[in-house]
Structure 1
Amino acid sequence: MTNITSNQLIIGNQRKLKHILDTNKIDYIDIDISDPKNINEKEFLQRTLSTLNQKMILPQIFNNDEYCCDFDGLISAVESNTLKQILKLDKN
């Protein structure tokens, strides 16, 4: 996520993401990649997305260091009732 943007779509998507996670009682850590103290996380995100040929469009969702999806993927998972699977929360 980022706390420094004037892009209303990103702001809205970040808000919706938090609402979806909160509603489903899914714990998360919000990492602001625009904060200089999170440079390692930002570089990790850039490397991971580059490897996966994904665009750097925030928000992006990870489970620990494992890429899950972008915002559109999250919405698709909600609509198809596969949220826990896409977030890799169904592992036993």
Structure 2
Amino acid sequence: MGVKVYVSGISGNKEVKKRQQRVFMILESKNVPFVAVDITEPGKEDEKDFMQTNSTSLGCTVSDTSPRHPLPPQIFNDRDYCGDYDQFDLANEIDKLEQFLRVEVPNSNDNDESNNVIQEAQSKTQVAENELVNNVDDSVEKIETNGIASSREPSVESEKKTNGAEVAVDEEVVDDGEAAEEEADEEKNTTPSEELIRSEQEAAD
């Protein structure tokens, strides 16, 4: 057994169309499986006769208060008549829709459990994504750190070379100073006669 909603796909009555759409919306929102039977489709003459014969409520509308035949939507559970739109809407308002349709409406707790499972899966996915992002950030930081360390090494060698050059210059200065001191010492140790001989030699040159 299953819920059947008899409708008219080409009805010129706007109220009938709105009622049909509302029935569909309510059933779908409550997860009630149903079959829509369009009595205006070709080959549906038997379905149309069945609806008109077994519907005990006319489904009156504001524009058609006394229809000759029951107006859709008409709701059945298989071949058992449930009621027209007004009865359907009232049962929904007083939270008696499952009794009206003669079915068990899916428990909202089942939907809650499904939602919890979905949320848990989404949470795990988010955690995994965060861990991946953190690992990537750590890798990038390590690469940058290694790059900075490598760039600093040549500067250390340059400092060593500079220091070596300064030491070499200092040694040269020391050597020149020592040579000057030796010449001064030689001049001091030269006797007057040696100075005279040296002066004559320079004059002869």
TM-score by length of structure 1 reads 0.89
Q: Which has the larger radius of gyration?
A: 2
SS across alignment from 1:5: coil
CA distance in 2, matches of 1:46, 1:68: 13
Which amino acid counterpart does residue 73 of structure 2 have in structure 1? P
2: CA distance, partners of 1:6 / 1:42: 17
2-structure distance, mates of 1:47, 1:14: 20
One-letter amino acid of the counterpart of residue 31, structure 1: V
Matches within 5 A, 1:10-89: 10-49=16-55, 52=56, 54-55=57-58, 56-89=70-103
- 2:45 aligns to what SS in structure 1? helix
Runs (5+) with no aligned partner, structure 2: 1-6, 59-69, 105-205
Q: Structure 1 or 2: larger helix share?
A: 2
Aligned alpha-carbon RMSD (Å)? 1.0
| TM-score normalised to structure 2 length | 0.41
Amino acid corresponding to residue 53 of structure 2 in structure 1: R
Amino acid at match of 1:30: A
* Residues in 1 aligned to 2:71 and 2:12: alpha-carbon distance in whole angstroms: 14
**Segment of structure 1 superposing worse, 33-42 or 15-24:** 33-42
Which structure is higher in RCO with an 8 Å CA cutoff and minimum separation 6?
Answer: 1
Structure 1: 5+ residue stretches without partners: none
